[in-house]
Amino acid sequence: RAGVGDTIVALATPEGEGGLAVVRLSGPGAVAVVRALLTAGSAAQEIVSHRAWRAVLRWPGEEGTRMVSGRAALRAEAPGGPPDGEPRPGEPLDEAIVLPLLAPHSYTGEDTVELQCHGGRLTARRLVGACVAAGARPAAPGEFTRRAFLNGRLSLDQAEAVADLIHAEDELTARAALRQLRGGLRDELASLEAPLRALLAELEGRLEFSADDPSGCEPVAAEPHLAAAAARLDALLAAAPAARRLREGVQVVLVGPPNVGKSSLFNALLGHERAIVDPEPGTTRDVVEAVLSHAGCRFVLHDTAGLRAGAGRGESLGQGRAREAMARADIVLCLRAAGSERGPEPAWQPELPPGAVALSVVTKGDLAGAGERGAGESGAGETDTAPLSGAALAAAARAGDGALVTSARTGFGVVALRQALAAAADQAKLREVAAQGWLLNERHRHALLSARRELEEVRDASRADAGEEVVATLLAGALARLGEVSGRVFTERLLDEVFGRFCVGK
């Protein structure tokens, strides 16, 4: 599709001090806007795509402004001259690198020009203002990527991968976003849709043929194609939980009674003090969150209020938030202190969400003799290879099979617990999703679920001999749902929702 007709400008790098900043223009008037910022000699030179040059950029003069935008010219000719603080026509703003990227070989598919100027809030802001004075308009959030989608440079899922890549905070998420940006999900969907499209074309062709010669049509063998597509859709949907964990982080919630050592273990896992630790029961009233990066994954740790009966009003509010955190957890660490009886599961523990894992953890192992090497031997180099003392073995036995004994004071067991978190997070699945580039979000999941349901309706209609016209109509609907993922089928409202989450300048 062609561009939308106007020229947009925005700062493409974060605001603030830095070595350089990039101001980006895109649209049919991008080159003319930049020419209005150049001196007469520079403005006359030939513009060659993907060839950069150094130039002094100036506030647009009266003649250049009138050439690009009559509205901007009227503004420059207003009584009293430019507003206070605005540079005068022709005033130098910066020495910059001008890089033209002409259509169709640009990110947006339109004429694009990048101005690489000195970093700092004022310089970049003044250049954006100069471009607006010369006829461009400020870009809306995500508008550059939206134009790339509308001009066929990216599918919609690839465009979303751009935002995921920008916001990635760990290696696996960045890898997954980059793979999706390079076509991982788009190619899988195209491969899935191809036999269904061929089936639809065959059904429609037979319907036309049967109108002329009803006796010459044989039934279409739809079942094998529908079964294969359903299996591939199931595989994609099975990857959705892992994709969510990559995007949002693996949610780890520490729960247990007051004074069991949740905050101390929370700090020990992080390697620094984040939560307040105090012997007084009920110190933690709210959920405290922090991010742990381990084994290429991002874990979001949640320290929660102690759970017990007979709590006061303030403590009860904290317990309610603890239960809410557990309901969203991927991993729940069920803590109890060394020497305490295991007993039945507490009445307050809710049913784990689907796919969540519960790990039993014994805290304060040093009180039972675990981790006797001392605090000076713990920390980043901790390996958990030293043998447990007899008391620690006894504590582990009382904890039950599979329980992990830890000591926040000495650091004993902390590395083993981090490794257990990595295993419980199903790293194999996370890495598989990253390698395939299936970083599905909730929009993708919803569309795929709808397509899966409609595909089942197609199979039911085919098995019931409902007629090829009915099967073709239902199949077209299922393909439309699949098309929502890649953006082959879209509405302006959908694009507003997707690109409204982007930053300005991307």
Give the pLDDT of residue 387: 40
Backbone angles phi, psi at 137, to 5 degrees: -125, 155
- Phi/psi for 268 (5° steps) reads -65, -40
319 to 262, 328, 344, 471: CA distances (angstroms): 14, 15, 20, 53
Are the C-beta atoms of 346 and 308 separated by less than 8 Å?
no
Q: For 255, left (φ over 0), alpha (ψ -120 to 50), or beta?
A: beta
pLDDT at site 59? 95
Q: Which residues of the chain have pLDDT under 50?
A: 1-3, 63-83, 343-345, 347-348, 373-399, 401
Question: Residue 278's pLDDT is what?
Answer: 53
Instruction: Report which of 247, 40, 12 is spatially closest to residue 119, judged by C-alpha positions.
Output: 12
Determine the pLDDT at residue 312. 56
Question: ∠486-439-323 over CA atoms, to 5°?
Answer: 125
Contact yes or no for 315/338 (Cβ under 8 A): no
CA 308 to chain centre: 37
pTM of the entire predicted model: 0.79
Q: Tell me the residue type at 14.
A: P
The percent of residues in the chain predicted with pLDDT above 70, rounded, is: 77
Give me the pLDDT at residue 440, please.
Answer: 95
Measured CA to CA, the distance from residue 461 to residue 475 in angstroms comes to: 10
